[in-house]
Amino acid sequence: MMEFPEIKERIGKIRSEIPGVDLLLATKTVDTDRIRYAVKECGVGYIGENRVQELLEKYDRIKDLPCEIHFIGTLQKNKVKYIIDKVSLIHSVGSVSLCEEIDRQAEKHGVVMNVLCEVNIGREESKSGFLPEEVPAAFEKMLSFSHVRPLGLMTMAPVCENREDYIKFFTKTYRLFIDNCVKKVDNRYKPVLSMGMSGSYREAAQCGATVVRIGSAVFGERKTKNDT
């Protein structure tokens, strides 16, 4: 196996900063040699892909890894069928109609798909997800599907210049999580609050995140000009 000592060093640093929080590696544009090293040599238990096509291209080379594969990007309804049997958690369920399609495809495959309700906490027009006031009804609706298991919330905070602004957005999301998810998730499953990325994982952990999604802080900057 190829060695990537910088990956091990970065993962160790992040873990020391946010003990008790699960680390999910966002692997968009990352080659499978580095993914395999992070999982096998660094003990990473979760990886997440943003794009259906890239997940499908990598899948045969990562499906044997001792980790969970999650889908963390925007998901179109017509692409659900391609990943329903390949991932264990979909973070980005930002509409009831998408949840309905996940439920339909999961039933076809005889599985129950774990999902997170995506919150547009910054009310950004460019982002998907439920507005904060829509979360209570949306989460209740998700609970009604027979082949979907909602475990909690996911959010992407707006890019902020000040640490205090991240804390503001993450605190609001945490309150939604406590009020609408924690008491309603089946007690056999751990409630999940997915928030915080490479530039904000410390603030997210401080505000109650159970999992952070880290890409560039482990693997370095994206190599294609369209990736940020």
pLDDT tens digits, residue range 60-106? 999 999 999 999 999 999 999 999 999 999 999 999 999 999 999 99
> 107, 148 in Cβ contact below 8 A?
no
Tens digits of residue pLDDT in 101-157:
999 999 999 999 999 999 999 999 999 999 999 999 999 999 999 999 999 999 999
The whole-number pLDDT of residue 189 equals 95
The whole-number pLDDT of residue 224 equals 55
Q: What is the mean pLDDT of the chain?
A: 96
pLDDT above 50 (res 228):
no
CATH 3.20.20.10, domain 5-219, yes or no:
yes
pLDDT above 80 (res 226):
no
Question: If DSSP codes are grouped into helix, strand and coil, which group holds residue 92?
Answer: strand
Percent of the chain, pLDDT > 70? 97
Which candidate, 65, 62, 18, 24, places its Cα nearest to that of 215?
Answer: 24
Which residues neighbour 220 within 8 Å (Cβ) at sequence distance 6 or greater?
none
The pTM for the full model equals 0.95
Q: How far apart are CA 96 and CA 72, in angstroms?
A: 17
